[in-house]
């Protein structure tokens, strides 16, 4: 494990995160996904005494754990409980409207996965919950009980890229007409009836991922976050996003590309009429991935892909 890992969570790609975010102008950085506070601890340790970090998390348990861990640096941190989709207004509540760097390390922490009562994992039996913020309504069990089979199929297909999305959705609809699905093991049994052999584990991972994305509206939230992040970065400020699956990474990649592009007028136009200006400079032409040594130490981080950009 790296020096900033704890039993709560091992932060991934710490070196590239630090090298993109800690330039000589960095005074105020937002860690939009504080989790166990690993990246924030690294930023505070390596960033010099003038660096301050604002840590955000939707999960109040994560916030409390990070706050306890970072108490020695409490004069340099602020903590906000909230969803990073509302980044602009969360920062506004502290009177902040411009920052030097923003980090989002998407998805769930090891702690969230390892606690069966959060319902994120198919490995252990627990309630079908999956909410990042357990104070809000709308659990995975609620979605499975209320959505039409066609909508469940769309979720499994679009968010899980699951080939057997239709049979899974129909099996859920049949099952719930007799007894509601309330436990992760209820969902697991349905998947295991449909998929046999070595593909089973992959299907379980895909179905659980899809449901988690739907429960937390993760893709819509990510789009809103990126837009807010761009608006609160000062010129020269840096955005770093770590994604864990291709749907997230595609959104980040397309957002950065779209805002890197300036004028979109056809080449035959003698002068620009669209007025569009490039707002971002791409710092990672290809996403940064953990190397073999990091994967060996922290296999859960193997799918991490980091993209960084600088505001013009």
Q: Which residues bind ligand SAM (CB under 6 A)?
A: 9, 11, 33, 35-39, 56-59, 62, 83-85, 105, 107-109, 132, 221
Q: Considering beta carbons, is residue 28 or 226 the nearer one to ligand SAM?
A: 226
Closest residue to ligand SAM: CB criterion: 35
Tally of residues, the chain: 312
Given a contact cutoff of 8 angstroms between Cβ atoms, the answer to whether 141 and 127 are in contact is yes
Name every residue whose Cβ is closer than 8 Å to that of residue 73 and which is 6 or more positions away in sequence: 41, 44
The smaller minimum CB distance to ligand SAM, of residues 168 and 306, is found at: 306
Task: Pick between residue 5 and residue 195 the one whose CB is nearest to ligand SAM.
Answer: 5
- Positive or negative torsion for Cα 112, 114, 117, 118: positive
Task: Using the minimum distance from each CB to ligand SAM, give the nearer residue, 94 or 273.
Answer: 94
User: To the nearest whole angstrom, how small is the minimum distance from the Cβ of residue 174 to ligand SAM?
Assistant: 32
DSSP state of 57: E
Question: What is the smallest separation between the CB atom of 57 and ligand SAM, expressed in angstroms?
Answer: 5
Q: Which is nearer to ligand SAM, 153 or 245 (CB)?
A: 245
* Nearest by Cα to 32 from 212, 224, 214: 224
The least distance separating ligand SAM from the CB of residue 11, rounded to whole angstroms, comes to 3
Helix (H, G, I), strand (E, B) or coil at 241: strand
Q: Which is nearer to ligand SAM, 128 or 169 (CB)?
A: 128
**Nearest approach, Cβ of 202 to ligand SAM (angstroms)?**
21
What's the closest the beta carbon of residue 251 comes to ligand SAM, in angstroms? 13
What lies within 8 Å, CB to CB, of 24 at 6+ separation is none
Q: How many whole angstroms separate alpha carbon 93 and alpha carbon 88?
A: 9
Q: How far is the CB of 277 from ligand SAM (least distance, A)?
A: 29
Distance of alpha carbon 10 from alpha carbon 30, whole angstroms: 19
In 261-307, alpha helices (H): 292-297
Count CA within 13 A, CB hemisphere, residue 249: 15
């Amino acid at each position: 494990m790296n020096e900033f890992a704890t039993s709560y969570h091992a932060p991934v790609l710490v070196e590239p995160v630090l090298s993109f975010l800690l330039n000589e102008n960095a005074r105020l950085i937002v860690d939009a996904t504080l989790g166990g506070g690993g990246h924030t601890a690294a930023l505070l340790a390596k960033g010099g005494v003038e660096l301050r970090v604002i840590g955000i998390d939707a999960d109040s348990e994560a916030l409390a754990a990070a706050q306890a861990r970072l108490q020695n640096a409490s004069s340099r941190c602020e903590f906000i409980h909230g969803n990073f989709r509302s980044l602009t207004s969360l920062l506004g509540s502290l009177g902040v409207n411009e920052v030097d760097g923003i980090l989002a390390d998407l998805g769930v922490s090891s702690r969230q996965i390892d606690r069966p009562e959060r319902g994120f994992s198919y490995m252990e039996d627990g309630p079908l919950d999956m909410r990042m913020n357990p104070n809000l309504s709308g659990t995975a069990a609620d979605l499975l009980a209320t959505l039409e089979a066609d909508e469940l199929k769309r979720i499994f297909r679009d968010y899980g890229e699951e080939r057997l999305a239709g049979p899974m959705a129909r099996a859920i609809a049949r099952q719930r007409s007799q007894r509601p699905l309330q436990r992760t093991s209820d969902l697991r049994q349905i998947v295991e009836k449909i998929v046999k052999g070595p593909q089973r584990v992959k299907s379980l991972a895909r179905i659980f991922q899809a449901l988690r994305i739907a429960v937390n509206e993760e893709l819509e939230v990510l789009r809103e976050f990126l837009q807010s992040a761009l608006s609160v970065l000062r010129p020269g400020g840096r955005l770093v996003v770590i994604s864990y699956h291709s749907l997230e990474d595609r959104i980040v990649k397309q957002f950065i590309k779209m805002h890197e592009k300036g004028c979109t007028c056809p080449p035959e136009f003698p002068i620009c009429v669209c007025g569009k200006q490039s707002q971002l400079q791409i710092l990672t032409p290809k996403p940064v991935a953990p190397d073999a040594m990091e994967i060996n130490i922290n296999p859960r981080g193997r799918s991490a892909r980091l993209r960084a950009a600088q505001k013009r």
